Amino acid sequence: EAQVTQNPRYLITVTGKKLTVTCSQNMNHEYMSWYRQDPGLGLRQIYYSMNVEVTDKGDVPEGYKVSRKEKRNFPLILESPSPNQTSLYFCASSHLLPGHRTVSYTFGSGTRLTVV
């Protein structure tokens, strides 16, 4: 089954304690990205990766890092989490929408992060 897998699903941590949210896709997609969902703000892109070893900032990259050492994996790293990073995070991989000249995303199930 084609899917994007994120772990963990839920995480409560304390300010300043480094954490990593993992993301893996089994569709051989080149483009992957991370979004955060906040009330009233919708889905905002944090970082994206065009391919292995190619990453770049999205719209809200502050406080986050990513790496893309393998095509299937795209972890999100919070080196020193702060309470304003409490949010719902989604990993996504991109594919061409069949019959269309646009991409669509397959999303993971989300990671709800609380930083206290």
**Residue from 20, 31, 65, 73 that binds other proteins (CB under 8 A)?**
31
- Helix (H, G, I), strand (E, B), or coil: what is residue 68? coil
Nearest distance from residue 31's CB to other proteins, in Å?
A: 4
Question: For other proteins, what does the binding mask look like between residues 61 and 90, x meaning CB under 8 A?
Answer: -----------------------------x
Residue 27 binds to other proteins (criterion: CB under 8 A): no
Nearest to 57, CA basis, from 39, 34, 36: 34
**Residue from 21, 92, 113, 115 that binds other proteins (CB under 8 A)?**
92
Q: What is the rounded distance in angstroms from the CA atom of residue 107 to the CA atom of residue 92?
A: 4
**Residue from 41, 80, 82, 83 that binds other proteins (CB under 8 A)?**
41
Q: What is the rounded distance in angstroms from the CA atom of residue 25 to the CA atom of residue 73?
A: 7
Sign of the C-alpha dihedral, residues 74, 9, 61, 43?
positive
Residue 114 binds to other proteins (criterion: CB under 8 A): no
